[in-house]
């Protein structure tokens, strides 16, 4: 492993002096905000441009601790607008792109697939076109990094795990759109020689996640003693990774990954939904000073998600052996930190759960 770290150090020095302008898309969202924070703090020599349309999931409050730093720049804009993207790239001549902007919630994709095709597919191709144009004469030391999901691989049975070579078999409009964007990224590498890299990660958890996703939604509902809508029998399995571990993996792959390659990222941490929900109830009840088991009766089994993938599991051997990355945050530590953050950041939760969110919640859950 020693040689990996020495090589990393040398390559990093090289990049720090060569790479200057990095575009991060979706930097006001959940994972994007952690990536922006990491890059702004760790690489003061880089100028970090956060491009975000500030949809319901984008929130500049996620970045108040770094938004005054001189190497941070925010641009409000929509990746679906090809003309705007082209001009932006011509103006700034970015050296690298880390592309996280997406419609990311499976349930919303079932209700409204078109948004997912526009942002996840058309938006990604707009970015690829713009990068291709500005790097056409010199793609040396440039990098287009596309952040994707394990959901493109489909669903597993009781055993096995997704490898980078696992054939794509997406089941939801969300994962089909992400799969399509992955194919375009590879096609631009193979056809035009664009220096691309892709990673496919499992479920993230941590601070700043919009509370329509399982964990923040359930923390908020437990706190307010509202029903916890468990889809189907609650036996679906997800692999959970702390969001800062994902951000560190992205840093590693961005700097050291090989062009044209794909890297799987996972937490080695599989949970059945019902088990992680019971664990969450135990921790939140304890932190709220309620007797053990108080919130268990809130569990409410509801109609299953259509096309609900049974199990995801990641084989991240390639990332470990090639680039030396492994998750660092133990689940018990990350989980406690996550719960503490949502309980301490009541104002953040209240802000994002007011207004349009209320309509969304009724539409999604009232008929279940």
Q: Which residue is nearest to ligand DAU (CB)?
A: 149
Distance of CA 202 to the CA centre of its chain: 9
Among ligand DAU, ligand NAD, none, residue 62 binds (CB under 5-8 Å by kind): none
144: which residues sit within 8 A by CB, 6+ positions away?
96, 97, 99, 127, 128, 131, 185, 188, 194, 195, 196, 197
**Could you give the 3-state DSSP secondary structure of residue 103?**
coil
Q: With contacts defined by CB under 6 A, name the span among 200-208, 298-306, 334-342, 353-361 that binds ligand NAD.
A: 200-208
First and final CA of the chain: distance in angstroms? Answer: 51
For the question of residue 360 being annotated catalytic, the response is no
Cβ closest to ligand NAD, residue 196 vs residue 203: 203
Is residue 178 a contact partner of residue 199, using CB atoms and an 8 Å limit? no
Residue list 57-86, contact with ligand NAD (CB under 6 A): 57-58, 78-80
Q: With contacts defined by CB under 6 A, name the span among 1-9, 90-98, 145-153, 333-341 that binds ligand DAU.
A: 145-153
Q: Measuring CA to CA, which residue among 201, 170, 165 is closest to residue 186?
A: 165
Give the span between the Cα atoms of 279 and 292, in whole angstroms.
Answer: 11
Residue in 78, 95, 151, 270 annotated catalytic: 151
Among ligand DAU, ligand NAD, none, residue 339 binds (CB under 5-8 Å by kind): none
For the question of residue 150 being annotated catalytic, the response is yes
Find the shortest distance in angstroms from Cβ 55 to ligand NAD.
Answer: 4
Check binding of 31 to ligand NAD (CB under 6 A). Answer: yes
Cβ closest to ligand NAD, residue 227 vs residue 355: 355
Of 34, 146, 238, 311, the one binding ligand DAU by CB under 6 A:
238
Find the shortest distance in angstroms from Cβ 76 to ligand DAU.
Answer: 22
Give the span between the Cα atoms of 91 and 218, in whole angstroms.
Answer: 43
Give the span between the Cα atoms of 266 and 49, in whole angstroms.
Answer: 27
Check binding of 103 to ligand DAU (CB under 6 A). Answer: no
Give the span between the Cα atoms of 1 and 4, in whole angstroms.
Answer: 5
Of 59, 161, 166, 202, the one binding ligand DAU by CB under 6 A:
202
The per-residue DSSP string of 242-275 comes to EHHHHHHHHHHHHHHPPTT-EEEE--S-EEEHHH
Q: Measuring CA to CA, which residue among 12, 70, 363, 327 is closest to residue 212?
A: 363
CB atoms within 10 A of CB 167: 7
For the question of residue 174 being annotated catalytic, the response is yes
Check binding of 265 to ligand DAU (CB under 6 A). Answer: no
Is residue 339 a contact partner of residue 242, using CB atoms and an 8 Å limit? no
Is residue 174 a contact partner of residue 116, using CB atoms and an 8 Å limit? yes
Cβ closest to ligand DAU, residue 88 vs residue 201: 201
Taking residues 52 to 91 in sequence order and writing x for each that binds ligand DAU by CB under 6 A, - otherwise, the string is: ----------------------------------------
Among ligand NAD, ligand DAU, none, residue 26 binds (CB under 5-8 Å by kind): ligand NAD
Residue in 78, 103, 150, 239 annotated catalytic: 150
Of 203, 248, 264, 269, the one binding ligand NAD by CB under 6 A:
203
Check binding of 182 to ligand DAU (CB under 6 A). Answer: no
124: which residues sit within 8 A by CB, 6+ positions away?
79, 99, 146, 181, 184, 185
Q: Which residue has the tokens 């609900």?
A: 308
How many residues contact ligand NAD, by CB under 6 A?
A: 30
Find the shortest distance in angstroms from Cβ 235 to ligand DAU.
Answer: 9
Q: With contacts defined by CB under 6 A, name the span among 39-47, 69-77, 100-108, 132-140 that binds ligand DAU.
A: 100-108
Cβ closest to ligand DAU, residue 219 vs residue 283: 219
Check binding of 34 to ligand DAU (CB under 6 A). Answer: no
Check binding of 213 to ligand DAU (CB under 6 A). Answer: yes
Q: Measuring CA to CA, which residue among 233, 209, 211 is closest to residue 222?
A: 211
Is residue 98 a contact partner of residue 22, using CB atoms and an 8 Å limit? yes
Residues with active-site annotation: 150-151, 174
Binding site for ligand DAU (CB under 6 A): 104-106, 149-151, 202-203, 213-214, 217, 229-231, 236, 238, 273, 305, 312
């Amino acid at each position: 492993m020693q040689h990996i770290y020495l090589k990393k150090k040398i390559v990093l020095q090289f990049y720090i002096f060569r790479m200057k302008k990095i575009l991060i898309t979706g930097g006001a969202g959940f994972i994007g905000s952690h990536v922006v924070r990491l890059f702004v703090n760790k690489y003061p020599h880089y100028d970090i441009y956060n491009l975000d349309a500030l949809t319901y999931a984008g929130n500049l409050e996620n970045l108040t601790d770094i938004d005054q730093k001189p190497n941070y720049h925010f641009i409000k804009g929509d990746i679906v607008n090809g003309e705007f993207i082209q001009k932006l790239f011509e103006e700034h001549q970015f050296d690298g792109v880390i592309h996280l902007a997406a419609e990311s919630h499976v349930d919303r994709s079932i209700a409204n697939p078109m948004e997912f095709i526009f942002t996840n597919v058309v938006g990604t191709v707009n970015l690829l076109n713009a990068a291709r144009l500005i790097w056409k004469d010199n793609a040396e030391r440039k990098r287009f990094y596309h952040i994707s999901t394990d959901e493109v691989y489909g669903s597993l049975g009781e055993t096995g795990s997704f490898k980078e070579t696992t054939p794509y078999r997406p089941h939801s409009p969300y994962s089909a759109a992400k799969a399509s964007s992955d194919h375009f990224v590879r096609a631009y590498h193979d056809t035009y020689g664009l220096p691309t890299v892709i990673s496919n990660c499992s479920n993230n958890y941590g601070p700043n996640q919009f509370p329509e996703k399982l964990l923040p939604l359930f923390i908020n509902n437990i706190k307010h003693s509202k029903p916890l809508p468990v889809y189907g029998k609650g036996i679906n399995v997800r692999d959970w990774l702390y969001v800062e571990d994902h951000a560190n993996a992205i840093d590693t792959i961005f700097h050291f990954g090989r062009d044209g390659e794909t890297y799987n990222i996972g937490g080695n941490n599989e949970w059945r939904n019902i088990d992680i929900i019971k664990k969450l109830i135990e921790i939140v009840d304890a932190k709220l000073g309620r007797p053990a088991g108080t919130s268990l009766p809130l569990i409410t089994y509801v109609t299953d998600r259509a096309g609900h993938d049974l199990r995801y599991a990641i084989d991240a051997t390639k990332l470990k052996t090639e680039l030396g990355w492994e998750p660092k945050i133990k689940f018990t530590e990350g989980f406690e930190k996550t719960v503490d953050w949502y309980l301490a950041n009541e104002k953040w939760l209240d802000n994002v759960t007011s207004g349009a969110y209320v309509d969304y919640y009724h539409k999604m859950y009232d008929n279940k």
